[in-house]
């Protein structure tokens, strides 16, 4: 069987939260060897669950001996993942100029891809302030277009800025830099920030917003009055009789026609007679009647359970699907999402192991040995508190 596409790529990941671990997870899933540098247990970042396939070494980053170990790791690495605020690694003497060179000064590892993820662009006025996904999403302009009430948009967990605009965008930049390195033999800095990444991800709605199209909110049409921001009754979520949600997404007229036919056939005739209104295909173009039609569908979907509605639309192009929980979706897929996309000849690593948390220092001895340190030097570093080892005998003495 062929090796995964990133086999042989060595990655050093400084422990962080959400976006950087996700970028590291992508690289690991597709075959890279990822070593996570953790602070020692009492200083460690909150347990990271995005650790599949990674190994950990726990180092005292405030000691010169600890920094020496870090330098050895980076010297032999292909990729470095930096989760810190701007300037942190520079203050530690580990900035990109050390490895890639600057001016006439040669770098110590000029093939290194130095990848960093910040919240805000490193040239922006906010570059040094704290934030989270919701802040980056808000500053990107994308949050203002998302569904919600007319005066308050809603946010989709922390998926857009942290993971799509941050981690996924950074991983793409790393792969691009590795590809370019084949030609030039040189690494480079990959700068990712979650505001810029989210903005790039939002290219499609931003263009539609600028063109005042009917798909997204704009100056001409506030939120919740457009096709894709929960304004359209034919692109929305409804609650069924058992209080379970179902999704409707029949934008195209031919799909909307199928939806109407099956919906009207499924509801009781006497209910339609009481309603005294049965809109047809033309309702899609009658924006002023959307709220009334949405109320009709609200009442109609409450007449059956979710699973009953699934059977009504099963096998059709009505674009109606149940809103599955993660556990329900796991019946068709695996509970833990498999790497995507799939590659026919060099697939990603399998993700069929139980969920686990990578403990800081779990592989410290193993990683140090790979750096060429003899066992007595490794034990010396452990005894001096420079490197921590999970469940080590020394820790129990």
Active-site annotation, residues: 132, 162
> Rounded distance, CA 128 to CA 144, Å?
24
Q: Which of 55, 12, 15, 62 is nearest to 385 (CA)?
A: 62
Q: Which parts of 174-305 are beta strand (E)? A: 189-193, 235-239, 245-249
> Rounded distance, CA 28 to CA 385, Å?
29
Close Cβ partners of 163 (under 8 Å, ≥ 6 residues apart): 18, 19, 22
Residue whose structure tokens are 């995507």: 340
β-pair partners for 119: none
Q: Which of 360, 395, 385, 372 is nearest to 65 (CA)?
A: 385
> Rounded distance, CA 114 to CA 8, Å?
17
**Cα 152 from chain centroid (whole Å):** 24
**Cα 24 from chain centroid (whole Å):** 11
Residue whose structure tokens are 């580990």: 94
* Strand 245-249 to 235-239 pairing: antiparallel
> Rounded distance, CA 166 to CA 158, Å?
11
Q: CA separation (Å) from 106 to 61, 96, 98, 111?
A: 25, 12, 8, 12
Asked if residues 371 and 73 have their Cβ atoms less than 8 Å apart, the reply is yes
Q: Directed axis angle between helix 169-184 and helix 19-29, to 10°?
A: 50
DSSP label of 221: B
> Rounded distance, CA 270 to CA 389, Å?
72
Asked if residues 20 and 117 have their Cβ atoms less than 8 Å apart, the reply is yes
> Rounded distance, CA 134 to CA 338, Å?
26
Element (H, E) at 254: helix 253-266
Q: What tokens does 255 get?
A: 């799909």
């Amino acid at each position: 069987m062929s090796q995964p596409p990133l086999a042989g790529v060595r990655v050093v990941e400084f422990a962080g939260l959400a976006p950087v671990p996700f970028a590291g997870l992508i690289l690991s899933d597709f075959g890279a060897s990822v070593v996570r540098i953790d602070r020692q247990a009492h200083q460690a970042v909150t347990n990271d669950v995005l650790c599949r396939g990674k190994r950990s070494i726990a180092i005292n980053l405030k000691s010169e001996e600890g920094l020496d170990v870090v330098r050895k790791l980076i010297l032999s690495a292909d990729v470095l993942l930096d989760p810190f605020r701007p300037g942190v690694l520079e203050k530690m003497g580990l900035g990109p100029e050390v490895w890639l060179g600057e001016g006439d000064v040669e770098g110590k590892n000029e093939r290194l891809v130095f990848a960093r993820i910040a919240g805000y662009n490193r040239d922006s006025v906010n570059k040094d302030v704290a934030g989270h996904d919701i802040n980056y999403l808000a500053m990107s302009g994308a949050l203002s277009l998302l569904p919600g009430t007319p005066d308050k948009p809603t946010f989709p967990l922390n998926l857009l800025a942290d993971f799509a605009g941050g981690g996924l965008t950074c991983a793409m930049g790393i792969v691009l830099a590795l590809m370019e390195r084949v030609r030039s033999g040189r690494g480079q800095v990959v700068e990712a920030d979650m505001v810029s990444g989210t903005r790039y991800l939002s290219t499609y709605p931003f263009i539609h917003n600028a063109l005042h199209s009917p798909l997204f909110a704009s100056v001409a049409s506030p939120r919740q009055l457009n096709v894709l921001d929960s304004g359209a009754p034919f692109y929305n979520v409804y609650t069924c009789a058992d209080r379970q949600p179902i999704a409707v997404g029949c934008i195209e007229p031919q799909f909307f026609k199928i939806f109407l036919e099956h919906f009207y056939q499924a509801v009781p005739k006497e209910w339609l007679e009481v309603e005294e209104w049965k809109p047809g295909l033309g309702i899609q173009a009658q924006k002023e009647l959307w709220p009334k039609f949405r109320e009709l569908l609200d009442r109609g979907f409450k007449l059956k359970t979710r699973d009953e509605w699934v059977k009504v639309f099963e096998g059709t192009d009505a674009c109606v699907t149940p809103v599955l929980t993660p556990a329900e979706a796991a019946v068709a897929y695996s509970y833990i999402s498999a790497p995507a996309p799939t590659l026919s000849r060099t697939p990603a690593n399998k993700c069929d192991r139980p969920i686990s948390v990578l403990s800081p220092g779990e592989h410290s001895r193993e990683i140090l040995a790979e750096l060429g340190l003899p066992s007595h030097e490794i034990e010396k570093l452990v005894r001096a508190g420079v490197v921590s080892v999970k469940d080590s005998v020394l820790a129990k003495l």
